[in-house]
């Protein structure tokens, strides 16, 4: 959902309302200079440092400091772009900066992350995650120090300081459960450009030694570098007792180096006649060959750097927001299945999701791996959850249902095997939310019309009034209201070429994809409005806020303004609570 | 032979052939009557409205004679030939009725003349005007004793002059209560339930409150300015299983008494469909017979969401709201109300 766009529009999480909210959040957290830098990156996309200097109009030291702060808080991604080598030597390389909009927007979800960790992992883990969130990215020793000093400040000698060994164990389990990940190295290549499947052209295999081959090898080496990071992403570092030998990038580097060697040898062993012909050929081809060989070498080297991250170097850690989203997504799936098919079905599906957890690294997975009944029941037992007595029958029935949540993949050693389709059940959860929104916005009759159009496809206004059993006037009012709000679409089907209205059919339809996208965008807009109102309320009582934040204020001063303080607290609490609630809906429509 | 006798003989032949007789048949059946005598007698009968001359349906180029009913003769007595022309034109339109402009085309009479004739015919209760649901400003005329066609009245869903939303709501409530009490029901069950409850129903005038010995006082709605009677079936009269609010299960149309226009299967199906679109019930195929069963929807649509519980979610000017603009979150009156504890 997050990466798909409807009608050629960018997804809502990169739309104008999301950007506006992101700028507000950055301004609130890091100040106006950082907001300016983020604004530049939002407006111009991925940029080099020099371009940023020109676009932002900030003094270089100020920009440098702002960029460092933003990178520290993971609000900006940094990539190393290496241009292909030329005849004169290796190509230039430069760093590119890109705004990490999802991480900025998901910072709204931090209280929910902490609640989740407190429920599942206890107070020490909350301290670890909280400090990591506060500082953005930290080494293990820095994190330990921060947690200990925080505990000392809070306890003030009343409570014993947390045991470093206990904290290390907690941290290890957080890494192993993927709540915490290694920070991606700043020398990773920029993400590959996504090409629409229809725009992809079939290419013939490149000729050996050609420029195309060099490009292909360069692309492959970039993929390897990214893959290398993915392999090392959740591996413990040596200071946490991780096995450095596990870092699998060396093998990849060796493999790549071997390829390069073989490539050179092959050239050397070529018959003299052919070599002669090549010499006689254009110089460009020779340059391309060199480029290909060097790209492979650079790829192997940087793959090692990216993934291997020489264990002598310190490892930086950050909170993995995607893992939280994945778990929240699972909660939504289980609750929706319970609602639709009953409690037993919910437990059985929960088992499948738990069994699938170790195979997925992102919340955007489309389906589970092939899982058996035994996998599901075993995962439930390990998690000490209730296992339905007839779990095999429940899963079997679910796979036979026309809804298509589960697909049977035959019998295996652990019983019948299934694959679960996530978009189907998530779309159902979204549909329920949408129906509630339409009902609240346009009344029960509006919802009747919307659902009618969803089920029946395209209908004329008269047919809508007829089938929904409403008066023509009411149907027209509702239809145009929903059209204006973007929940319905109107299509004209002219009978004549002059498009005369009297000779044109006008048909209405509800497209769930478009409405989902609209809703996703509206949610960001509403969150931005809530944030703006919160800022307005705070600025109205700025003097009171300053008084409350002041370190030493006489108690009688506060007592005198007790009523005013209570009113301000009530307003801010309501706005903040609504923002948190809204964020849960934003997650469903944008981040899973 | 006297004209009177010939008239009687012609009428006797016409009554023998209720489908109508052609002139050639009359000639064969009355061989002793001369053409002149026959013509005089027919003219006299036509003037006295005892005989009707119609286009032969089998051969539109010829015509047939048909004897008028005795009652019709009395009713139509005193009408001029022009009145009769308009009357026959309206009669030909059947229960679909005819528009005055169409009458003008068919009769070749002037509009004021037609209006005058229509007034006379309406006063004598020979014809009536009916408003079409398709076009409220278009009045059509039909014979007084005819029930307007479903296309004209809109079926059971239309009251005397408007779409009857409340009737539909009451029917929906009754259907919901039935499905709730049964667990699941098929279309046939619901239709049967409605038919059974109709027999247990009681008649009540439209205004005021309905007193029923079995059920106590029931809500009765007001409907326009015309006093119309309807068949009302209060919940307690329907069935002991029912716990619904009062349900009115018969629609009224026209201004005379109760309409016996029963709800057909497809009418009930439409009511069920609206409940499905409302997300209140869902159709499931429980049996192998392929018959769809209806039950209460398992997935209830939430009453509210995070988005709609804040003012922005239901704001009518949400799309016009911009920071620093005329409508902005900082100056929003809906937020002001919402935050006003």
> B336 and chain A: CB distance < 8 Å anywhere?
no
Regarding predicted confidence, which is higher, A15 or A251?
Answer: A15
Residues of B in contact with A457 (CB under 8 A): none
Q: Cα–Cα distance between B47 and B81 in angstroms, integer?
A: 8
pLDDT band at B46 (very low <50, low <70, confident <90, very high): confident
The answer, yes or no, to whether residue A16 has pLDDT greater than 60, is yes
pLDDT band at A356 (very low <50, low <70, confident <90, very high): very high
Inspect the interface and report whether the beta carbons of B339 and A537 lie closer than 8 Å. yes
- Per residue in A114-169, pLDDT (tens digit) is 999 999 999 899 999 999 999 999 999 999 999 999 888 876 666 777 888 999 99
Cβ-Cβ pairs closer than 8 A, A with B, add up to 113
The answer, yes or no, to whether residue B218 has pLDDT greater than 60, is no
Q: Where are the domains of chain B?
A: 3-74, 81-152, 157-296, 302-341
Question: What value does the mean pLDDT take over residues A179-205?
Answer: 86
Q: Which residue is listed with tokens 């439409």?
A: B270
Asked if B3-74 and B81-152 have one fold, the answer is yes
Give the best residue of A532, A542, A569 to mutate against chain B (max B CB count within 10 A): A532
> B329 and chain A: CB distance < 8 Å anywhere?
yes
> Which own/partner contact pairs does A310-313 have at CB distance under 8 Å and 24+ positions apart?
A311/A237, A311/A238, A311/A244, A311/A247
- Per residue in A541-574, pLDDT (tens digit) is 888 888 888 877 788 888 888 888 999 999 999 9
Question: What value does the mean pLDDT take over residues A447-451?
Answer: 96
Inspect the interface and report whether the beta carbons of A436 and B270 lie closer than 8 Å. no
Question: What value does the mean pLDDT take over residues A473-495?
Answer: 94
> What are the structural domains, with CATH classification, of chain A?
12-101+185-193+208-267+284-315 (1.10.10.10), 107-178 (no CATH), 326-420 (1.10.10), 425-510 (1.10.10.10)
Q: Cα–Cα distance between A487 and A431 in angstroms, integer?
A: 12
| All residues at 6 or more sequence positions from B331 whose CB lies less than 8 Å from its CB, including other chains | none
Residue A507, helix vs strand vs coil? strand
How close, in Å, is residue B141 to chain A by CA atoms?
Answer: 24
The answer, yes or no, to whether residue A292 has pLDDT greater than 70, is no
Say what the pLDDT of residue A555 is: 80
Residues of A in contact with B312 (CB under 8 A): 525-526, 529-530
Mean of the per-residue pLDDT values of chain B? 78
Say what the pLDDT of residue A156 is: 65
Say what the pLDDT of residue A291 is: 44
Of the partner residues A436, A448, A469, the one whose CB lies closest to the CB of residue B302: A436
- Does domain B3-74 bear CATH number 3.40.309.10? no
Question: What value does the mean pLDDT take over residues A296-314?
Answer: 51
Across chain B, which distance is largest between two alpha carbons, in Å? 105
The answer, yes or no, to whether residue A22 has pLDDT greater than 90, is yes
Inspect the interface and report whether the beta carbons of B341 and A485 lie closer than 8 Å. no
A188 burial (CB, 10 Å; 0-12 / 13-18 / 19+) is buried
Of the partner residues B298, B306, B318, the one whose CB lies closest to the CB of residue A340: B298
Say what the pLDDT of residue A6 is: 45
| Closest chain B residue to the Cα of A433, Cα to Cα | B305
Beta bridge partners of B185: B294
Regarding predicted confidence, which is higher, B250 or B325?
Answer: B325
The lowest-confidence range among B32-46, B268-282, B284-298 is: B284-298
Q: Cα–Cα distance between A408 and A417 in angstroms, integer?
A: 6
Regarding predicted confidence, which is higher, B155 or A96?
Answer: A96
Of the partner residues A339, A435, A532, the one whose CB lies closest to the CB of residue B279: A435
Inspect the interface and report whether the beta carbons of B301 and A339 lie closer than 8 Å. no
Say what the pLDDT of residue A289 is: 43
pLDDT band at A428 (very low <50, low <70, confident <90, very high): very high
The answer, yes or no, to whether residue B125 has pLDDT greater than 50, is yes
Beta bridge partners of A314: none
Of the partner residues B278, B307, B318, the one whose CB lies closest to the CB of residue A582: B307
The lowest-confidence range among A123-137, B285-299, B322-336 is: B285-299
pLDDT band at A312 (very low <50, low <70, confident <90, very high): low
> B285 and chain A: CB distance < 8 Å anywhere?
no
- Per residue in A25-37, pLDDT (tens digit) is 999 999 999 999 9
> B333 and chain A: CB distance < 8 Å anywhere?
no
Inspect the interface and report whether the beta carbons of A575 and B339 lie closer than 8 Å. yes
Mean of the per-residue pLDDT values of chain A? 85
Residues of A in contact with B299 (CB under 8 A): 339-340, 428, 432
Q: Cα–Cα distance between B176 and B154 in angstroms, integer?
A: 24
Inspect the interface and report whether the beta carbons of B329 and A567 lie closer than 8 Å. no
CATH of domain B81-152: 1.10.10.10
pLDDT band at A9 (very low <50, low <70, confident <90, very high): low
Inspect the interface and report whether the beta carbons of A436 and B318 lie closer than 8 Å. no
User: Residue A283, Cβ neighbours under 10 Å: how many?
Assistant: 9
Compute CA distances A111 → A69, A107, A116, A137, A230, whole Å: 22, 9, 9, 18, 27
Tell me what ipTM this predicted complex has: 0.83
Say what the pLDDT of residue A380 is: 93
């Amino acid at each position: 959902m997050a990466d798909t766009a409807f009608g050629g529009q960018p997804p809502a999480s990169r739309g104008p309302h999301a950007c506006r909210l992101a700028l507000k959040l950055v301004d609130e957290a890091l100040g106006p200079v950082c907001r300016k830098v983020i604004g530049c990156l939002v407006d111009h996309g991925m940029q080099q440092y020099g371009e940023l200097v020109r676009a932002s109009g900030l003094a270089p030291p100020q920009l440098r400091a702002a960029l460092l702060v933003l990178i520290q808080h993971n609000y900006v991604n940094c990539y190393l772009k290496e241009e292909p080598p030329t005849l004169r030597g290796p190509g230039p390389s430069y760093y590119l900066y890109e705004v990490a909009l999802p991480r900025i927007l998901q910072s709204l979800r931090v209280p929910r992350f902490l609640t989740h960790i407190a429920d599942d992992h206890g107070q020490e883990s909350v301290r670890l995650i909280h400090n990591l969130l506060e500082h953005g990215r930290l080494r293990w020793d820095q994190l330990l120090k921060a947690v200990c000093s925080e505990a000392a400040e809070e306890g003030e000698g009343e409570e014993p300081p947390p045991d470093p060994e206990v904290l290390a164990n907690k941290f290890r389990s957080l890494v192993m459960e993927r709540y915490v990940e290694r920070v991606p190295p700043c020398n990773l290549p920029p993400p590959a450009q996504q090409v629409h499947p229809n725009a992809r052209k079939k290419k013939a295999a490149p000729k050996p030694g050609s420029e195309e081959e060099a490009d292909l090898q360069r692309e492959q080496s970039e993929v390897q570098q990214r893959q290398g990071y993915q392999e090392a992403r959740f591996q413990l570092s040596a200071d946490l007792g991780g096995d450095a030998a596990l870092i699998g990038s060396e093998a990849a580097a060796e493999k790549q180096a071997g390829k390069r060697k073989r490539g050179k040898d092959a050239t050397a062993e070529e018959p003299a006649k052919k070599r002669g012909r090549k010499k006689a050929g254009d110089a460009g081809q020779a340059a391309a060959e060199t480029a290909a060989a060097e790209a492979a070498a650079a790829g192997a080297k940087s793959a090692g750097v990216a993934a291997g991250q020489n264990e002598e170097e310190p490892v930086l850690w950050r909170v993995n927001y995607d893992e939280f989203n994945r778990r929240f997504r699972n909660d939504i799936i289980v609750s929706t299945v319970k609602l639709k098919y009953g409690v037993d079905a919910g437990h059985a599906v929960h088992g499948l999701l738990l069994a699938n957890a170790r195979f997925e690294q992102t919340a955007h997975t489309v389906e589970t791996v092939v899982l058996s009944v035994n996998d599901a029941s075993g995962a439930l037992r390990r998690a000490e959850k209730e296992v339905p007595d007839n779990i095999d029958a429940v899963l079997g029935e679910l796979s036979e249902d026309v809804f298509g949540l589960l697909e049977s993949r035959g019998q295996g050693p652990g019983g019948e095997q299934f694959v679960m389709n996530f978009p189907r059940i998530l779309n159902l959860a979204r549909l329920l939310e949408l129906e509630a929104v339409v009902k609240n916005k346009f009344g029960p009759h509006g919802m009747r019309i919307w659902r009618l159009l969803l089920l029946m496809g395209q209908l004329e206004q008269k047919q809508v009034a007829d089938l929904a059993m409403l008066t023509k006037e009411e149907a027209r009012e509702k239809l145009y209201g929903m059209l204006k709000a973007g929940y319905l679409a109107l299509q004209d089907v002219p009978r004549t070429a002059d498009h005369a209205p009297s000779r044109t059919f006008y048909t209405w339809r509800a497209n769930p994809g478009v409405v989902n996208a609209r809703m996703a965008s509206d949610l960001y807009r509403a969150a931005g409005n809530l944030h703006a109102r919160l800022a307005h309320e705070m600025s109205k009582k700025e003097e009171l806020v300053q008084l409350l934040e002041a370190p030493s204020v006489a108690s009688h001063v506060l007592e005198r303004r007790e009523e005013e303080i209570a009113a301000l607290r009530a307003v801010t609490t309501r706005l903040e609570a609504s923002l948190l609630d809204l964020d849960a809906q934003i997650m469903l429509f944008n981040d899973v | 032979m006297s004209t009177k006798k010939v008239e009687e003989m012609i009428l006797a032949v016409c009554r023998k052939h209720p489908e109508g007789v052609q002139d050639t048949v009359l000639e064969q059946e009355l061989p002793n009557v001369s053409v002149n005598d026959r013509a005089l007698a027919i003219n006299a009968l036509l003037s006295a409205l005892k005989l009707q001359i119609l286009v032969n349906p089998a051969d539109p180029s010829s015509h047939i004679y048909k004897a008028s009913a005795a009652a019709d003769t009395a009713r139509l007595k005193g009408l001029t030939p022009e009145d009769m022309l308009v009357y026959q034109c309206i009669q030909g339109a059947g229960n679909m009725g005819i528009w005055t402009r169409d009458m003008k085309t068919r009769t070749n009479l002037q509009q004021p003349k037609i209006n005058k004739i229509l007034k006379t015919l309406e006063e004598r209760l020979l014809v009536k005007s009916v408003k079409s649901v398709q076009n409220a400003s278009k009045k059509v005329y039909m014979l007084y004793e005819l029930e307007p066609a479903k296309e004209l009245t809109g079926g059971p869903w239309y009251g005397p002059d408007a779409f009857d939303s409340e009737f539909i709501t009451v029917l929906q409530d009754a259907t919901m209560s039935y499905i709730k009490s049964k667990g699941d029901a098929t279309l046939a069950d619901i239709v049967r339930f409605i038919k059974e409850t109709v027999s247990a129903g009681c008649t009540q005038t439209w205004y005021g409150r309905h007193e029923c010995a079995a059920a106590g006082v029931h809500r009765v709605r007001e409907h326009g300015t015309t006093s119309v009677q309807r068949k009302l079936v209060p919940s307690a009269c329907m069935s002991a299983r029912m716990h619904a609010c009062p349900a009115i299960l018969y629609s009224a149309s026209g201004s005379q008494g109760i309409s016996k226009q029963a709800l057909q299967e497809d009418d009930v199906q439409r009511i069920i469909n609206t409940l499905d679109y409302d997300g209140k019930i869902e159709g499931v195929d429980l049996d192998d017979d392929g018959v769809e069963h209806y039950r209460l929807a398992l997935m209830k649509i939430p009453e509210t969401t995070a988005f709609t519980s804040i003012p922005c979610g239901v704001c009518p000017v949400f799309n016009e709201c911009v920071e620093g603009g005329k409508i902005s979150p900082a100056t929003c009156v809906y937020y002001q109300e919402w935050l006003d504890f």
